[in-house]
Amino acid sequence: MKRDRLFPILLVAVALCVIAWSLLAFEDNLLWKVQELNLHLNTGMFFKQQMVVAGGFLTWLGTFFTEFFYHTWQGVLMLCAWWALLMWLSAKAFCVKAKWAVLMLIPVTLLLTSNMELGYWIYYLKLRGYFFVGTIGLTVAMASIWGYRSVPATFRPVAVVVAGAVLYPLLGAYGLLAVVLMGLLSCRQKDMKRLQKAVTCVLAVLTALLVPVIYYWTVYYQTNYDYIYQAALPVFEVDEAYPEYYTPFVLLGLFYVAMALPFPEKWQQKAEKTSVWAVCQVTLLAVMVWGVQHYWYRDYNFEKELEMRRAMEQRDWEGMLRAITAFEDEPTRAIVMMKNLALFRLGRQGDEMYHYKTGAKAHNAPMRVNMTQVVGRAIYYEYGQANYCYRWCLEDGVEFGWRAEYLKYMTRCALVNGETEVAKKYIQLLKHTRFHKEWAEAQEQYAYHPETMKDNEEYAIVKRLMMQEDHLGSDNGLAEMYLMNILLDVNSFDPLVQELTLLSALWKKDIGLFWPRFFNYANLHKGEHMPRHYQEAAYLYGHLEHQVDISKMPFDEDVVRNYNDFMALAQRCQGMTEEQMKSLFYPQFGKTFYYEYFLIRNQKSN
């Protein structure tokens, strides 16, 4: 093989290796989360449920391969293998020479971009198996086009119609694209007469337009007519549409249309020149590298949320705290709540709650992101609010489709609520998954022997935190605010539960609510050292409103000293904006309740 042919092929292979390394090195937690938000059951019923819409076979395959992101390296290898197959079939379908193999990286780059530009969309996309659907759809489409080329010229007009009738139910919009490309490709087929070309093109267009309508009226009448041409494509819409996220898919279509159209002979001759060929290769690579870097979603808070959420699933509380040690940005409230949960589980929240950066930074997303989608379900469950966790799993399952994460939390909630028959139902479903089967089997013993739950650390503490009265209300997506308000109303002599009410009073920053909970805590922990942050709140509130005599309380020396220094600096900073004060106060007072009380706002924002 000549050098100008071997080098592009090696370059493509290296590019795939770099992509695989990048995904494993930088997006391990994201890909793990993607499979948690996926569900594939190895049952005939699940397959039939997917096939009730156009492109259902594609989503069935997509969910199957997405499962393998449970072990990230497996999923990444499979995705790269599909991309390699797509490039090879694309080259075969459009007779691309080996020396132009770099051209075949364009669809791979666009598919990679479509996956990695998502960010918080992973919580809101309704298309099942999204990370694989586009790749598999185009791969099958290219195989169909290659097969179409082998059909005798006389039968190609009929083959276009047959292809549309077969591919649309299986591939949705990708099947329609294949039909259109078959029509365009006929224009450059030398073995076809002019009339045959014209007839094939017209039939391809009519097939692409009419087949979805015919299927809608005869088979898929339960689907939305407005989306019949977008079957198996994602819908980027939450309250409003976000068309910019369709850009990779539009460019994919335009790329393949350009590949199908006749290429002028003069251009072909110029392209064969070594200098032109080299310039094109370098330019294409530069544009693709820039495009991937520019559109690859990177957000510090998003990445930390994923890392902490994965550690929470593994009950690794120390791991959650390691993720936010030396935090480099203002955290979102989701991160703050996960941090507080980890400290609470470790019994250190009263002393270390403000030792980590706190804040209320908005999520870096075009749409409004509710904490319930990010971590709210898990937070509700961990604080004993099983009904709220179950409610959001159920509602989001109906809205966005059932996911492994939802079924796992619904299982947990059913078990702690004593609803063993309900738990068995979800366990049986999860036993039909590839990687969640082991977890489901481990929970089965608690469904058949509920009395053994007291020996399980996770279930024991959740049941201990559960309220005696069963109730459910609406949180309007404001998970943190609603949870704190619930905990404020709890009356308990259990020291663990009572501390939650004190912590919620600190969050509320309400002096009247704080004092009775503070004294309850002191009575339940007689002879013990009062945690630092509770002392700070008592000392501050005692000076702000002289409702309680704090003169005889044994405050630590550094609590008193920090308060005096804080107030002295505040006097000198009059006239500064809040943001200016934050940067000035944080180095010395960022680990105190004083900083939290005066300079942290918007806890109710999500």
Same domain for 321 and 449, yes or no, is yes
Helices 3-26 and 274-295, axial angle in degrees (round to 10): 10
CA distance 507 to 4: 66
Same domain for 306 and 282, yes or no, is no
Look at residue 102 and give its three-state secondary structure. helix
Evaluate whether residue 477 is within a structural domain. Answer: no
CA distance 419 to 325: 39
- Per the listing, tokens 């279509």 go with 253
CA distance 252 to 238: 24
Same domain for 312 and 274, yes or no, is no
Same domain for 239 and 91, yes or no, is yes
Evaluate whether residue 471 is within a structural domain. Answer: no
Report pLDDT for 582: 87
Of 247, 274, 293, the residue that ends a domain is 293
Report pLDDT for 65: 98
Of 423, 447, 465, the residue that ends a domain is 465
Measured in degrees and rounded to the nearest 5, phi and psi for residue 423 equal: -60, -40
- Per the listing, tokens 């119609």 go with 161
CA distance 428 to 407: 10
Evaluate whether residue 488 is within a structural domain. Answer: no
Report pLDDT for 603: 61
Report pLDDT for 491: 80
Residue 450 · residue 424 · CB < 8 Å: no
Same domain for 528 and 458, yes or no, is no
Same domain for 316 and 285, yes or no, is no
Evaluate whether residue 216 is within a structural domain. Answer: yes
- Closest of 246, 230, 234, 227 to residue 124, by C-alpha: 234
Of 465, 483, 505, the residue that ends a domain is 465
Same domain for 139 and 270, yes or no, is yes
Evaluate whether residue 120 is within a structural domain. Answer: yes
Evaluate whether residue 525 is within a structural domain. Answer: yes
Same domain for 131 and 31, yes or no, is yes
Same domain for 238 and 326, yes or no, is no
Evaluate whether residue 476 is within a structural domain. Answer: no
Same domain for 286 and 310, yes or no, is no
Give this prediction's pTM. 0.93
Same domain for 442 and 538, yes or no, is no
Same domain for 343 and 194, yes or no, is no
- Closest of 367, 296, 364 to residue 335, by C-alpha: 364
CA distance 238 to 52: 24
Evaluate whether residue 483 is within a structural domain. Answer: no
Domain count, the chain: 3
Residue 253 sits in which domain range? Answer: 3-293
Residues of the chain short of pLDDT 50, as ranges, are 1
